[in-house]
Chains A and B, each alone.
Chain A
Amino acid sequence: AQSVTQLDSQVPVFEEAPVELRCNYSSSVSVYLFWYVQYPNQGLQLLLKYLSGSTLVKSINGFEAEFNKSQTSFHLRKPSVHISDTAEYFCAVSVYSGNTGKLIFGQGTTLQVKP
């Protein structure tokens, strides 16, 4: 069965410091990987995704994630965080077979950026 594990439930960090949010997945079939962000009292927003090709994918607001097949990981990183990055981050895997597909989420990581 497919699953996603986010290794840290909370990550406190000071503003302008680098951050890494860790994500590992398990799957016996090809997967597509996503990071979603959820700001307080808002819905889930797609941050970035890996479908194929370059293993390093980037978002428009400075986040990047690298797909590592051998380590079954898809860690999210940002070299310098801002207060506005404070949110819940969810790693997810899209399992696709034939004409069915679904998104399976990890437990989430709360990023707390402190001034």
Chain B
Amino acid sequence: EAGVAQSPRYKIIEKRQSVAFWCNPISGHATLYWYQQILGQGPKLLIQFQNNGVVDDSQLPKDRFSAERLKGVDSTLKIQPAKLEDSAVYLCASSFSPGTGGFHDGYTFGSGTRLTVV
């Protein structure tokens, strides 16, 4: 089966610019997650979608970060304006819905987008 697709693979921008990341989850996975992984740290959940609805965005810096998942499939994560501390790898993951038998098969991660803000 095809994995979770993310693009771009790398991005370098200047502070105060805007940037967007794209994610295409595994077909049939209703739940989609965006994680931020700062160098030397574990991934931190930014936002979780169930189909096209937001389930958890408690750790999303909403003054600059936004995300959407139109039609319950692809998702985009945007940062506007970017700050130096946003430099990180942004990981997208998908899974079957909690409450279904497939949920605990695990989460499948994409390769990530490495963002460098200079």
In the complex, the answer to whether A51 meets B104 with C-beta atoms within 8 Å is yes
Q: Which of A44, A45, A49 has the most CB of B within 10 A?
A: A44
**How far is it, in angstroms, between the C-alpha of A101 and the C-alpha of B107 when the chains are bound?**
11
User: Number of B residues contacting the other chain (C-beta, 8 Å)?
Assistant: 28
Q: Which one of B4, B40, B106 has the greatest number of beta carbons of chain A within 10 Å?
A: B106
- Whether the Cβ atoms of A90 and B43 lie closer than 8 Å is yes
A101 CA / B95 CA spacing, docked (Å): 10
Q: Is the Cβ of A44 less than 8 Å from the Cβ of B109?
A: yes
How many chain A residues touch B (CB < 8 A): the figure is 27
User: Which of A11-19, A58-66, A78-86, A103-111 has 4 or more CB atoms under 8 Å from chain B?
Assistant: A103-111
Is B45 interfacial (CB 8 A cutoff)?
A: yes
Task: List the 4 closest pairs (A to B, CB-CB), nearest first.
Answer: A105-B42, A101-B98, A44-B109, A43-B111
Please name all residues of chain A whose beta carbon is closer than 8 Å to the beta carbon of B44 when the two chains form the complex: 105
Q: Tell me the bound Cα distance from A32 to B107 in angstroms.
A: 12
**Contacts of B111 on A, CB cut-off 8 Å?**
42-43
Contact B99 A98 (CB under 8 A): yes
Q: Mark B52-80, 1 if CB is under 8 A from A, else 0.
A: 00011000000000000000000000000
Q: Give per-residue flags for A16-49: 1 if the beta carbon is below 8 A from chain B beta carbons, else 0.
A: 0000000000000000101010000011111001
B104 touching A102, Cβ below 8 Å: no
A-to-B contact residues, CB < 8 Å: 4, 6, 32, 34, 36, 42-46, 49, 51, 90, 92, 94, 96, 98-108
User: Is A103 touching B45 in the complex (CB atoms < 8 A)?
Assistant: yes
Closest Cβ neighbor of B107 among chain A residues:
A103
Q: Are A102 and B48 in contact (CB under 8 A)?
A: yes
Instruction: Please name the residue on chain B nearest to A52 by beta carbon.
Output: B104
Residues of B within 8 A of A44 (CB): 43, 91, 93, 109
Nearest A residue to B9 via CB reads A41
The one of A92, A101, A106 that contacts B103, using a Cβ cutoff of 8 Å: A101
B112 at the interface (CB under 8 A from A): yes
The 23 sampled A-B contact pairs (Cβ below 8 Å) are A4-B42, A6-B42, A43-B110, A44-B43, A44-B93, A44-B109, A49-B106, A51-B104, A90-B42, A92-B42, A96-B98, A96-B103, A96-B104, A99-B50, A99-B97, A100-B56, A100-B98, A101-B103, A102-B33, A103-B33, A104-B45, A105-B42, A106-B42
